[in-house]
Structure 1
Amino acid sequence: MNTNALRAYFRAKGGEIGGFAYRARMHRPFTELEPSITVTEQYRVRYILRSNIFDGVELERLRREAVPSSNENATTGGAVPQVEEQPAHVDAAENTPVVADSNDDGTFTQELEIEQMRSTLDEAIMETRSTPLENRPRLPRIALSKRNRAVVRSLNPMLVTYLEASRDLCETDSILFGAALAVCRIIGAKLSTAGRTTGQSSAIPAWRTRIEERIAKARALIGRLICFRSGNTRPRIVRTVRMAFAGTNVNLSQPDIMQKLTERIDDLKQRIAAWGKRIRRYSERSTRFNQNRLFQSDQKRLYKSLERPLVSGTGPVPNQADTVAFWRSLWSEPVNHNEGPWMEVVASQCAGITPMDPVTITPDDVAEAVRRAPNWKIPGLDGLHHYWLKGFVV
């Protein structure tokens, strides 16, 4: 086998060759060919598996050339002599399953066994059933790779038992969310543990947090300086005053120290005012932006938010008899309405209109709507993206 074939052999799937001893056998000749590269066997396998240098046909040819099967003659052309097996003292960490790409048919044969995947699925579904909607973790966007799709396809037949026992749509939704959570844990996706927020995000920008911390420290320093100016000479106060004048030529024993203290206090107050003005300017700008956006989407909500809240509970409590008499006069007494001639005109005009057929939503309509929906559009209260509805076809 030539040098290129030896390097390309590391793309071979461990499950197809059987075991992981091939890595130690092939790593020794590789180190002889490339003595300057000092990497572990597992790292070399991972690197070449992800490089996508050769297509499937060439990989199959190199695999047959590198390790002949049991029914082939080892002495035929293109075969290599068998090397001794991997020693028994090889580190167990080297025998961990390799994250390998899937085959052309999308079969995920490594990283986790079927039983381990089933156990992860059971745990995720049980956890989702006992967790309220607002406390569910936020599902991340996962890469649309063959490996991730293979994990989803592997969990599909496992969901049949759960879905057949589902009693309502809410339980079905929790099962699908648990399956999505299991996929994220299997592929190692990062999950947020803080839970989801059902309303608009209220995260404070980092720069505003820093400014608020500066304001708090400046106010605390002003308090210490005022205490020192008033005659408080405790060691803690004196130490803080010295730190406030660090890097300057101000000495606490000089005669104009009171004037220096007043100037320092005024400077800190001006800084606090500037920082507060910056925060107010940001808040006003954010409010204007949100109002303009709400005006474009829902003017009624905007006007309702601008109205002053009504103060309730300040007047006398209404009498129950008066309340019943008021509503009874509106709903219980019969009323003869004088509809007028215009009602006959409208009835004659609408007599020739054919009533609309009742709308029937079929499963095919739902499937088509899900198929056309974007994969990672913002989900609803359940936190389930359309990607998972498309992936779990069962």
Structure 2
Amino acid sequence: MEMNFEYSLGKRSLPEGDRQGISGAGAGYDSMRDVGGRVLRRRAPVVQEATAPQQSGSQTTTSATAAESAAQESQPVLTQAGLPRRRIKWTVSMNESIMRIFYKVTNLGRETIGYRPRLHTAFCSEYPEIKVSQQRVADQYRVIIKNNLIPQPRLNAIKQEVQLDLMQQEGSNNEIRDNGQSEQEQIESEQPGVDDSNDQDTEIFGILITEMGRAYAEFDGTNPLERPPLPKLKSSRKLAVVLCQLNKQILPEYLAHSNCIEQLHTLIYCAAVATVRTLGVKMPTQKITENSVKPITPKWEKRLERRTAEIRRDIGRLTQFTRGITTRKVRKQAMEIMQRLHHHSHQDATNINEWQCLDTLKQKLSVYTQRLKRYKASSHRKHDNALFQRSEKAFYRKLSSEPQEKSKTVPTKDQVEEFWGKQFGSTAYYNKCAGWITDEEAKSHYCNPMQYRAYTKQEIVDIDQVIPTNNYKRFILKNLQQSDKCRYGCQDSETIQHVTGGCQAFAPTDYKERHDIAAKIIHQELAYKFKLIECKLQYYKYTPQCVLENDKYKLYWDRTVLTDQYIKQNRPDIIIVDKDAQKVTLIDVAIPNSNNLTYKHNEKVAKYRELEFQIKRQWKMKYVETIPIIMSSTGVIPRRLLENIKALELSENIYKIIQKGVLLATARIVRKFMGNAST
């Protein structure tokens, strides 16, 4: 199957004589068609009447007759060279010949400079009957590649055939050289202009001898580490000639007088210098060291340093405003900063005062400084790995040149025993009559002790059956027509456990409000203990602030911790920051059902592991721990609750206030849930 490619002149105009022949006598326009079949019209020159030479005895004026016009129209269209114009039909064999010739003249596509004359010459020798220009053959090659006129498997096969032919031709050339024909004689037999090539090689040889002598006189006996580096050279015929002359004619004379490895190294370096200078390549005048090259600061480092500088500037201005410096300039700058830092994060409420904005700035500063430190460590590690792969010697030299940290003095055995002996050997006492203990007892004197009564499991089950849930109606009252599913659309069975802590309709509102009651009690006790507030209120009247801070402590309420790396669980209920001890305590409250107490405790501890690591690294803290506060929705107290309250150094009786608030909230939830029985 043959593929045809039509070549047309398109909209190119014909010569004036051809245009007249096509138009005919008296025609106002000439016409021709392009590849798409569209008629192209151009204004044709008016046909002038031709005057014949006067004959003897008569004088006549002749003009183009209708027959002559018809004869002119029937003539073929001519090119500018006067040849009849025709379209070339490129067959598959012609296209394959073009690709085969291209691979031969370009050495399988490696030498594509100046290939068009050779491609045209070889094609014309193979197809002498086709008269085509050099540009047209090159265009046809590009059309074959662009339009995939030859499938890729066939192209690969043609390329392999050409490669085999080139290998065989190279082998035959090597045999000819082995039989005694020199390389110079072969070049003379294959290429014209041999005399010019010989003259050029002789000139290169003279320059190479001069440069070799000058380089040896310049670098003989010098320190190899102080010699300038050599530039990289591109492959060329001149370079091949220089290397051949250097290896066969010049270096053997110098190597005959070298008797040590140092002289051999100097000769190799001088030969390279002579090659570079002979080729006219510029050499650096001095050795380039690491100190002479100005390091390039990456864009990420510039961006992070700019951000940290801006944040430190805003922190300084806002700190002046919080300390009472209320000049017009300081106030204006503080207002602009507070307006810009209106939101701490998309999860938190808006910042309402300068202290909250200042905390947002400090957290952002810790994020960017940690990110800059991490990026620098990564970049330094990549640089060291690349240096090790390039030169292990340079890598170890760099390690030895870096300043080492001074080793700390290790205490002796007697010093350790003396220090810890004083700590464990002496008995510690505390003042049982301290003023703060008396104050706490005076504040709680009005609280009447509760009368405790032990309830059995059966009594709790009986109380459960009293509440008319859907589960109670179906399975206790045996009303089989009654569905046991939740009346608010949940797919779970409507039991008392589902009502108190498992309904999805009450999770974002009533359950959260009960959770916040327990958290508010803990937050107010901690704020009063750290002297962040002056007096305590009833827990249902207390509204915690998101940030409370003094010289020793900082207390967060339901505030997102900004971290360098993304962490999903980054918002515990309460965060305590002890500045002196460099300790952070994360407190998270949960009010689950009684059967989920142990699971919730373990979940809260594991939930904030990654956040603990990020806070310890960003805020430069020594200790970070998580303390869960877990109590069931029916007031059941696990053993770990009292241990966690002791770890927070709060009064043990605080669990009674938490229990009271949780039970009242649970009773309100049950009444609200069961009050819609009609729905």
TM-score when normalising by structure 2: 0.21
- Highest RCO, 1 vs 2 (Cα 8 Å, sep ≥ 6): 1
| Larger strand percent | 2
TM-score when normalising by structure 1: 0.33
| Larger helix percent | 1
